[in-house]
Amino acid sequence: MVYQYHEPSRKKVSGGTGGRKRKARDRKLAHIGGGFTATKVSGKEDRYPKRGRGGNIKVKARHTGFVNVLMDGKTKRAKILSVIESHNPQYARQNIITKGAVLNTDAGKVRVTNRVGQDGVVNGILVK
């Protein structure tokens, strides 16, 4: 698994030289982000708890079949049929749900507005 460190850029801003800044600190385990939870469209609902810093609990979703759709100021639960488009074409083919993905549901086309892998639920708005 490839981990990504969340640290600031080492490229200089001022001067326009494109030079590099000296490293302020070493990499730390606390700076590593969590792994990607590829939430897939499925008939079964599958969630699991994940402990974060300070004992915080996040509920992550592995599989989901429903989306909470905001229509006319009211929320309705709709069944997900497939992923139509995503920022990564491979995700759309594999039916992996990410933020900003467009889903085909029984209520129509829905754009996902939350980070599904981190929230454990799928929320979206109807696309006209």
120: domain CATH number is: 3.10.290.70
Q: By residue range, what is the domain housing residue 54?
A: 39-126
Classify residue 5: in a domain, yes or no. no
Classify residue 112: in a domain, yes or no. yes
Q: Taking all residues of the chain, what is their mean pLDDT, rounded to a whole number?
A: 90
Q: What is the pLDDT of residue 7?
A: 76
Domain count, the chain: 1
Classify residue 68: in a domain, yes or no. yes
pLDDT at 14 over 80: no
Cα–Cα distance list, 92 to 42, 58, 59, 95, 124 (Å): 14, 25, 23, 5, 16
Classify residue 104: in a domain, yes or no. yes
Classify residue 79: in a domain, yes or no. yes
Amino acid at 61: A
pTM, full prediction:
0.77
- Mean pLDDT over residues 60-86, rounded? 96
- Mean pLDDT over residues 98-111, rounded? 97
Percent of all residues in the chain with a pLDDT value above 90, rounded to a whole number = 64
Classify residue 8: in a domain, yes or no. no
**Running DSSP on this structure, what letter comes out for residue 126?**
E
